[in-house]
Amino acid sequence: MATVTTERFRINNLDCAACASKIENNLRKLDGVETVSLSFATLTLAVKARDMELVLETVRRIEPGVTLIPENEDKLKPVALDHGADYRPWKALLYFGASATLFLLLLAFEDRFHTPSGVWLEYVVTFTAYLLAGWNVISGAARTIRRGEFFDENVLMVIATGGAMAIHALTEAVGVMIFFKIGEMLQDLAVSKSRGSIRALLAAQPDHANVQSESGLKLMRPDQVNVGAMILVKPGEKIPLDGVVITGDSQVNSAPLTGESMPAGVRPGDAVMAGAINLTAALSVRVTKPFQESSIAKILALVENAAARKAETEKFITTFARYYTPVVVLIAAAVALVPPLLVAGAAFQTWIYRALVLLVISCPCALVVSIPLGYFGGIGRASRRGILIKGSNFIDALSQVKTVVFDKTGTLTRGVFEVGQVVSFNGYSEQKLLEYAAAAELHSDHPIAKSIIRAYTEQGGDVAAITVHDHRMLAGSGVKAIVNGSMVLVGNDALLHRENIDHDQCVADGTTVHVVINGKYAGYFLMGDQLKPEAPEAVARLRESGVERIVMLTGDNACAAEHVAEHLNLDAFHAGLLPEDKVRVFEEIVARNGNNGKVAYVGDGINDAPVIARADVGVAMGALGSDAAIETADVVLMTDSPAKMAEAVAIARETRRIVWQNIFLALTVKGLFVAFGAFGLATMWEAVFADMGTALAAVVNSTRALGKNR
């Protein structure tokens, strides 16, 4: 059995969104094809299949003019499919100019052409102008018919204009074809501009690395550089790979990764990420990851692959377009035949003309083109702001969020603890209490543990001189160890209750860490963990966006949690939770929420992975360089600012609003002209203006989802 392989292709000469949908649908039906995603927005095709040659042959059969170029050209040689190579824009413009000139002659000398001696000349000029304007439309229609398909926009336009000439509406036939081509060119221009903006978002990928060697600097592609190599990053250059600074002291702009342009200082020993821009001085960097695993490569892959996860709205429109055109064609056939056969005095020519008007309006291009562009524009805009949304389905989910649940430590608060106060009991001195706690926490990597050890060493203590045995981590509650022969417990309130230790301490303005020595309560540390400055703004902006309920979950004690909740004016909080408790409490929140919108969870992406996976929208915050966060979450915030969550919701809602504006615009205009055409209230001129004008307006509106360039 052939092995399953995954290939990504760049697509050339694909100018029709309906054709893109047709290719994708046909590839899905092939045996051995597991997944397929074709993005008209980025002109990329991703396929996972057993027989890649069958995939290429199918594309060749469906759209002979398309060219596929494998992105990984080392594995597969570029494949140029038939036709399309001889197409030249200047040739199309030349033909179009000649056709327009002849059309103006038809209009200027219409009276002379209608004389008996001028009729033959009128037909010659008409057919010449028609062929010059619509030669590619006619050839496209012929290819479609050879495949046994009849509901392609090219076929419908040929039938409509050919029918117009058959009933001697010659100037309308030529004019409609000319203005159809004008509309196509304007639409292609708008799509190209939108696509260029999207590609600009993906242009953060570094294109070279200055590799240091014994013979000097060697210019290499980033994907050719090995881990451990030394690279030189000059001022103004993008850092090509993830690494550690060995020499140099500079400022680095991480805007391509995080959306925040505030430079940060780096010096020897600091980690730097691929895609960031070195600003002020040269840096020597030791590469720590291959390019494929670098931060920028993961970001670009997420943005480009987002097209594979389609929103229900996109799926509906694809299905709708498949049935809309045949239905309108059947209505047109009924309009052309039924009245003349059943109604006395109804002329075939009149009703055929009305049917031709319906054919002009029967192509759903405005929907098929603009909706994917709108969604991808929203995803691209978010990525530029350091917000990675993994698919248009999550755009829809974010736009419907009514409840947001936050983790506390590291999400709403800074997660940087300092020992603010030491309170001792039962004869222990503050210094002794700190000594025992620091020794017990010696092998823990929790931020609180590191803070206690740091406080002890800053007072001159030497943890290494203390004898520590039988160190044990107590999940969700603290640590246990034998220090200088004494059993020491260090942890939260839950630990005291579990060990039945009498205590009566609750401090409202900080995290409390309790210490128990040989079964007796010895005292506590008050750990200061400040709110992030952006937290109040984030909560306020979420409420402005329509989020109705904001809840906090934390493993911290109820006193510290209540202090944060009151300061931020949260609707509820749940404290003292173990990791497994968070999932249970989150399930209860979801159950109480019922059908009132979606529930999102925002956490650090590692400790909160189970809850992130369970949420309608799982959001990992501050996840720059975190593999676990990027894999688990539906939305990845590349900085640790909770305000990014509010921004993500706002972008999602604006994107969905733009998408529905396009749907309403297209369906309303097309519905009206189907009715107008059936009752003889619209001409073919008006129909083509309505059809192409709606498509153009929808595409231009979709570009708004990209937002302003920053």
Q: Is the pLDDT of residue 432 over 70?
A: yes
Band of the pLDDT at 616, cuts 50, 70, 90? very high
Mean pLDDT, rounded, for 308-324:
75
The top-scoring range by mean pLDDT among 38-42, 204-208, 395-399, 504-508 is: 395-399
Domain of residue 26, CATH code: 3.30.70.100
Q: Which residue has the higher pLDDT, 506 or 9?
A: 9
Please tell me whether residues 519 and 453 are part of one structural domain.
yes
CA distances from 176 to 133, 158, 180, 210, 665 (A): 10, 10, 6, 57, 22
Band of the pLDDT at 203, cuts 50, 70, 90? low
Token pair recorded at residue 119: 């009729």
Band of the pLDDT at 154, cuts 50, 70, 90? confident
Q: Is the pLDDT of residue 117 over 80?
A: no
Please tell me whether residues 544 and 630 are part of one structural domain.
yes
Q: Which residue has the higher pLDDT, 580 or 623?
A: 580
pLDDT for 656: 93
User: Which of 481, 513, 528 is the endpoint of a domain?
Assistant: 528
The CA distance from 611 to 26, in Å, is 38
Q: Is the pLDDT of residue 710 over 50?
A: no
pLDDT for 547: 94
pLDDT in tens, 159-173: 888 888 888 888 888
Q: Is the pLDDT of residue 83 over 50?
A: no
The CA distance from 398 to 375, in Å, is 13
Q: What is the mean pLDDT of the chain?
A: 82
Band of the pLDDT at 1, cuts 50, 70, 90? low
Q: Which of 68-72, 286-290, 609-613 has the weakest average pLDDT?
A: 68-72
| Type of residue at 171 | T
The CA distance from 537 to 642, in Å, is 9
Band of the pLDDT at 114, cuts 50, 70, 90? low
Rounded to the nearest 5 degrees, what angle is found at the Cα of 72, between the Cα atoms of 66 and 75? 105
Q: Which residues carry out catalysis?
A: 407
pLDDT for 626: 61
In the block, which residue shows the tokens 């056709």?
Answer: 99
| Helix/strand/coil (H/E/C) assignment for every residue in 670-696 | HHHHHHHHHCCCCCHHHHHHHHHHHHH
Q: Is the pLDDT of residue 602 over 80?
A: yes
Q: Which of 63-67, 233-237, 601-605 has the weakest average pLDDT?
A: 63-67
Q: Is the pLDDT of residue 197 over 60?
A: no
379 inside domain = no
Please tell me whether residues 61 and 24 are part of one structural domain.
yes
The CA distance from 308 to 39, in Å, is 8
**What length does the chain have?**
710
Q: Is the pLDDT of residue 187 over 70?
A: no
pTM for this prediction = 0.73
| Type of residue at 432 | K
Could you give phi then psi for residue 550, rounded to 5 degrees?
A: -125, 125
49 inside domain = yes
Please tell me whether residues 455 and 510 are part of one structural domain.
yes
Could you give phi then psi for residue 319, rounded to 5 degrees?
A: -65, -45
Domain of residue 559, CATH code: 3.40.50.1000
Number of domains within the chain:
5
Please tell me whether residues 277 and 334 are part of one structural domain.
no
Q: Where are the beta strands (DSSP E) in 2-114?
A: 5-12, 33-39, 44-49, 67-70
pLDDT in tens, 260-294: 667 888 999 998 988 888 999 999 999 998 988 88
pLDDT for 77: 38
| Residue 166 CB contacts under 8 Å (≥ 6 apart), including other chains | none
Please tell me whether residues 33 and 111 are part of one structural domain.
no
Please tell me whether residues 540 and 407 are part of one structural domain.
yes
279 inside domain = yes
Could you give phi then psi for residue 642, rounded to 5 degrees?
A: -65, -20
Q: Are 662 and 374 in contact, with CB atoms under 8 Å apart? A: yes
How many other β-carbons are positioned within 10 Å of the β-carbon of residue 520?
13
The CA distance from 79 to 141, in Å, is 25
Report the largest interatomic distance among the alpha carbons of the chain, rounded to a whole angstrom. 122
pLDDT for 506: 55
Domain of residue 485, CATH code: 3.40.1110.10
Please tell me whether residues 465 and 520 are part of one structural domain.
yes
pLDDT for 362: 75
| Strand, coil or helix: 171 | helix
688 inside domain = yes
Please tell me whether residues 112 and 259 are part of one structural domain.
no
Please tell me whether residues 480 and 559 are part of one structural domain.
no
Q: Are 475 and 491 in contact, with CB atoms under 8 Å apart? A: no
Please tell me whether residues 402 and 536 are part of one structural domain.
yes
Mean pLDDT, rounded, for 589-607:
85
Please tell me whether residues 456 and 393 are part of one structural domain.
no
The CA distance from 505 to 418, in Å, is 19
| Strand, coil or helix: 664 | helix
Q: Which residue has the higher pLDDT, 688 or 366?
A: 688
Nearest residue to 547 (alpha-carbon basis) of 579, 562, 563, 569: 569
| Residue 591 CB contacts under 8 Å (≥ 6 apart), including other chains | none
Q: Among residues of the chain, what percentage have pLDDT more than 70?
A: 87
pLDDT for 597: 87
The CA distance from 342 to 207, in Å, is 70
Domain of residue 257, CATH code: 2.70.150.10
Band of the pLDDT at 46, cuts 50, 70, 90? confident
Token pair recorded at residue 437: 């706690």
501 inside domain = yes
pLDDT for 75: 36
What is the residue range of 369's domain?
89-198+307-374+657-706
Q: Which of 305-319, 456-470, 498-512, 669-683 has the weakest average pLDDT?
A: 498-512
What DSSP letter does each residue of 131-170 carry, written as one string? HHHHHHHHHHHHHHHHTT---SHHHHHHHHHHHHHHTT-H
| Strand, coil or helix: 282 | coil
Band of the pLDDT at 358, cuts 50, 70, 90? confident
445 inside domain = yes
Q: Is the pLDDT of residue 667 over 60?
A: yes
Mean pLDDT, rounded, for 200-210:
70
pLDDT in tens, 236-261: 898 999 999 999 999 998 876 776 66
pLDDT for 2: 66
Q: Are 637 and 623 in contact, with CB atoms under 8 Å apart? A: yes
| Residue 318 CB contacts under 8 Å (≥ 6 apart), including other chains | 21, 25, 368
671 inside domain = yes
| Helix/strand/coil (H/E/C) assignment for every residue in 481-548 | EEECCEEEEEECHHHHHHCCCCCCCCCCCCEEEEEEECCEEEEEEEEECCECCCHHHHHHHHHHCCCC
Mean pLDDT, rounded, for 584-592:
92
Mean pLDDT, rounded, for 328-344:
88
- Is residue 378 exposed (0-12), middle (13-18) or buried (19+ Cβ within 10 Å)? buried
The CA distance from 399 to 649, in Å, is 6
What DSSP letter does each residue of 575-608 carry, written as one string? -S--HHHHHHHHHHHHHHHTTSSEEEEEE-SSTT
Q: Where are the beta strands (DSSP E) in 182-282?
A: 209-213, 216-220, 230-233, 243-247, 250-253, 264-266, 271-272, 277-278
The CA distance from 412 to 529, in Å, is 10
178 inside domain = yes
Nearest residue to 545 (alpha-carbon basis) of 402, 347, 396, 368: 402
Band of the pLDDT at 642, cuts 50, 70, 90? very high
Nearest residue to 70 (alpha-carbon basis) of 79, 58, 81, 60: 79
The top-scoring range by mean pLDDT among 223-232, 302-311, 361-370 is: 223-232
| Residue 678 CB contacts under 8 Å (≥ 6 apart), including other chains | 331, 335, 354, 358
